[in-house]
Chain A
Amino acid sequence: MSKTTEQVRKTLARRYRAEKRFRAMGMASVLFGLMAVVVLFTDIIGKGHSAFVETYIQLEIRWDQDELYIDDPTDPDELAYADYDALIKNALRERFPSVEGRLEKRNLYKLVSSGAGYTLRDRLAENPQLLGTTETLWLLADDDVDRYLKLGQEAQESARLPEQARAWVDELVQEGSTDTRWNASFFTHGDSREPEQAGVWGAVAGSFFTMLVTLALAFPIGVAAAIYLEEFAPKNRFTDFIEVNINNLAAVPSIIFGLLGLAIFINLFGMPRSVPVVGGLVLTLMTLPTIIISARASIKSVPPSIREAALGLGASRMQVVMHHVLPLALPGMLTGAIIGMAQALGETAPLLMIGMVAFIVDIPGGPLSPATVLPVQIYLWADSPEASFVSMTSAAIMVLLGFLIMMNTLAVVLRKRLERRW
């Protein structure tokens, strides 16, 4: 056996051990990452899943014209401003006749959501012939009731519901007069101070309009800048300076962009506060460096031989870019753009600065109507004192994560699709 072989055999075991250690370390890192994701998701889903259902209470509603103070049932104005809460109060008093005293009665009335009156109004507007009849209706319960019922036996002690009210609710439950139903309003309503009436739709619409503005500005500007810098700009000190600054811009804290937007778009240009257009502009500034950097990288990865071939045939620089470079670089650009957009979708800080943190109940109708966005909505709810907002917050996070996962999947799919063209 030669000396080399001997030496090699001696070190072999050590080398294999080192390799094994290295692999184990890699596995451990991956597992750690996965665990973090699993913990995050179980926590969010564990807290948030209960927000997708809400409690209803069955009550006997008497559509009494006098109680409603309606003189002329054909007048829509009178129907709109009638006292529907009185009907609910009556129904509750009839359901629990033993309740006496102002305070107790107030507690009793709080069993039903303050929004239930509007449900009755809408119902009567659709069926005016109901006036004077009596029917059994399921009405949305107050969030304290909802919370009380969703908590486990032991945890119920901590609920905010007063002692008396718990007895009433228990009674309702025993009678089968409570029900949990799919919380459709969570996906169709705007924000509200009452957790049982609040929804994410306003924030989703706001996010949509903001992203629309961001995409419409950031993608074309970013791609044009990248193409100019890569294909046309002379390599000199000035373009080096630009490159350094673009990279710097990518690392600027996002709140700075918010302050910039506040100073320039709102104070200097006098644009309105809280609107998706300004939000989109600010996020465009924030997303541009990401898009430019990724677009430049994908332009760089187009083999120079393709450019030479086209140039050699007599194509102008512009034609080389349009016919060859852009189609080949597009998958990379799109991926970069979508990742940039996903980043922008989850951005909160700069939007706080330009007033998109306002409490807005209406669903925004366009990029110029006041709105908030999903991450800011999460921030707002996380800040709210009502216990039910805890689960609402987690549910909103689930919605946001859903959108992020969708966008990232789209990025992967697009890249695969477009890259498969040879």
Chain B
Amino acid sequence: METAPNFTDTGNGPASIPAAGDKGDNTMDADIRYPENTVGKPLVDDAKMRMRDVNVFYGDKQAIFDVSLDIGNNEVIALIGPSGCGKSTFLRSLNRMNDTIDICSVKGELTLDEQNIYDPKLDVVELRARVGMVFQKPNPFPKSIYDNVAYGPRLHGLASKRYELDEIVENSLRKAGLWDEVKDRLDQPGTGLSGGQQQRLCIARTISVSPEVVLMDEPCSALDPIATAKIEELIDELSSQYTIAIVTHSMQQAARVSHRTAYFHLGRLIEVNETNKVFTSPDHQLTEAYITGRFG
């Protein structure tokens, strides 16, 4: 459950506030910790997705406060921040996965290629075909490896002939770096693969419908370092064709794979900058406190 205490609550909030105050900064004023506007460069010229003044509510509770952010074409943007800061919630509003939660409501302007994605006229099926998602836990269908990857194309009727489908499946598995490992056992259950292989299968499944944007919600949190390295390598390769937004708890991972990094704190977007800058000389003290391990 995402929580976002009010300004006045933050003084008693967990760990974060004293940590920021200890930095020698005497001003305990909330304005300092929560900048009026996001620090850094949240907006870009060549944007694939634009988000303006996004507020997300779970019933009465507000999880996201006035977030404005652009995701550029073919860039990898990492969303980092302590647990419960709203980064997953934000990510899930980008392909309207939050629609499945009854009490969740999203306010603000979110566009994909200048098209409002919360427009009632826009079909959510089409949106999700264009904005794919990879989840935290590998979640292959209890079907064969082939059927797992072929599910999306079949759903949208992307292949009319068997060989076309075969081609899509092979290409997707190749891009996900899984083809050589599974090409002899495509008819075996996808759930029989190892955790890392399952996650790459899920990535293959996501890219099988050729989405424009791929959202990844902590894709490596359930994987060992070797599998993680493979996925990161894969993200690097995919970034030439896809726009990728990745939520991660590992700052090394964010540093390794992303071009830009956005730091979320208690539902607010604190800072967005080039990844290098965020990890070497962050503009905001909260970001610095987080990346130096003071809290989170």
Contacts and interface: CB of A to CB of B under 8 A. Distances in A.
Given A312-B97, A314-B156, A319-B155, A422 B128 contact: no
A306 interface: yes
Contact of B142 (A307, A312, A315, A328): A328
- Interface of B, secondary structure class, is helix
A301 to B, nearest CB: 13
A312 B133 contact: yes
Interface residues of A, number: 21
B151 interface: yes
A328 B152 CA distance: 19
- Interface of A, secondary structure class, is helix
Interface residues of B, number: 28
Given A234-B102, A324-B141, A328-B142, A314 B125 contact: yes
B191 A422 contact: yes
A421 B155 contact: no
A309 B97 CA distance: 10
Nearest to A312: B133
A305 B137 contact: yes
B141 A315 contact: no
Contacts of A319: 155
A314 B97 contact: no
B265 interface: no
B141 A312 contact: no
B142 A422 contact: yes
B195 interface: no
Nearest to B205: A313
Contact of B132 (A305, A306, A310, A313): A313
B125 A312 contact: no
A236 to B, nearest CB: 9
A313 B205 CA distance: 8
B95 interface: yes
User: Which of B102, B141, B202 counts the most chain A CB atoms within 10 A?
Assistant: B141
A422 B188 CA distance: 10
A316 to B, nearest CB: 6
B36 interface: no
A256 interface: no
Contacts of A303: 139
Contact of A308 (B135, B191, B209): B135
Interface in A297-344: 303, 305-316, 319, 323-324, 328
Contact of A313 (B102, B126, B192, B209): B209
A392 to B, nearest CB: 50
Given A308-B135, A324-B141, A422-B142, A315 B202 contact: no
A237 interface: no
A305 B100 CA distance: 12
Contacts of B192: 422
B89 interface: no
A77 B155 CA distance: 70
A306 B100 CA distance: 13
A310 B209 CA distance: 12
Contacts of A316: 125
A9 interface: no
A311 B100 contact: yes
Contact of B152 (A305, A308, A314, A422): A314
Given A303-B139, A305-B139, A324-B141, A312 B95 contact: yes
Nearest to A307: B100
The 5 nearest A-B residue pairs measured at CB: A305-B139, A312-B133, A314-B128, A314-B129, A422-B189
Given A313-B151, A324-B141, 11 more contacts: A234-B102, A305-B139, A308-B139, A309-B139, A309-B141, A309-B205, A311-B97, A313-B209, A314-B127, A314-B152, A323-B151
6 contacts: A234-B102, A309-B139, A309-B140, A309-B205, A313-B132, A313-B155
